[in-house]
Amino acid sequence: MNILKRLENACRHSYCTDYECTSSFNCNCNIDLNEICRCSTIDSVNIYNVDISSICKKVLKSIKNTIQSYCIERLLFRSDLVNPSNWQMNIVGGYYGEETDGADCDINVVKEIKHKISKLMSFKSSKKMIEYILVEEYGHVLPRLKNKKWTSKKVKYSDIIIPNQNKYHYTKLDRNTLGRYNKEWLSLKVPRFLCVESFGPTKLKLLIDGYHRYEACNKKRNVEIILGI
C-alpha cells in the first residue's frame, strides 16, 4: 500500500480523535428490574483533539528514506488534519442504541495534504525536499540554508545549541503545540529537528527549526537530527 493510500485510510473511520458525547434514553425500561435499554440516542459529539502522531505512524510505515519521512511528518503536523473541527464522528446503530464508530476527516483537507505529499515525493534530492518544507512553513529559505548538503545523523543533546538571538523565543513556546509531541510522537522513527553545523573547531549543531520538538525530547539520550553541512 502506498503512502497516499495509507493517508486516506488513516483519515477514514479513524480512532485518533479524543471526544466527548451526550446521549439520551427514550424508552420505558425499568432499571430497578435490571431491564436493559437498547434505544440510546447520541445527541451531540464534541471532538476536541486529534492525535496527529497516530496518523503519522500509519502513514510513515515502511518508508526507508529518512529525510523523506521527516518531511512528510512535518507536512502532516502542520496540516489542517490537526484541527478537530475538520473531523466528523460516525454514528452507527449498536445492540444498545447508537454508538460512535471512528471519525472521518474533511475530504478537502485530505486532498490538500495529499497534494503536498505528492509534490514532496516528486523531488529526487534531499536539498529540494528540505527547502520545500521550509518554504511551506516559513515562506522562504534563509540564504545560509541554501545549497546545504542535508543528511540524518545521531548526535548528543549537549552538541546542540540554540542561537543567542532565539533564546527568548525558546522561553515562549506554546504549551498546546508542545502537547502534540506526546509518547506516540516519541515512538516515531523520524529525525526530530533541523540543525546546521556551526563554524569553528567544536562542530556544534545550531538548532534552526524545531524548538518545540527540542523541548519535548528526552535530553538524556542521543537524538537523530537532520543536519546541514
> Do 39 and 82 fall within a single domain?
yes
Q: Could you tell me if 109 and 164 lie in one domain?
A: no
Contacts of 131 (CB under 8 A, 6+ apart): 141, 145, 146
Domain co-membership, 96 together with 179: no
In order along its 229 residues, the chain shows pLDDT tens digits of: 699 999 999 999 999 999 999 988 777 665 555 667 777 889 999 999 999 999 999 999 889 899 999 999 999 999 999 999 999 999 999 888 889 999 999 999 999 999 999 999 999 999 999 999 999 999 999 999 998 999 999 999 889 988 876 776 777 788 888 888 888 888 898 999 999 988 766 678 989 999 899 988 877 789 999 999 9
Report d(CA 6, CA 130) in Å as an integer: 23
Query: Does some domain include residue 108?
Result: yes
Q: For residue 135, tell me if it sits in a domain.
A: no
**Residue 75 is part of which domain span?**
1-123
* Residue 113 and residue 157 share a domain: no
Q: Using N-to-C axis directions, what is the helix angle for 107-121 and 3-10, rounded to 10°?
A: 160
| Same-domain check for residues 78 and 115 | yes
| Dihedral sign for Cα atoms in the order 70, 71, 72, 77 | positive
**Are 65 and 19 contained in the same domain?**
yes
137 in any annotated domain: no
The answer to whether residue 134 sits within a structural domain is no
Return phi, psi of residue 63, to 5°.
-75, 125
> Is 1 found in the same domain as 109?
yes
Single pTM value for the model: 0.88
Number of domains in the chain: 2
Looking at the fold, whether 159 and 58 belong to one and the same domain comes out as no
Instruction: Let me know: does 217 contact 86? Beta carbons within 8 Å.
Output: no
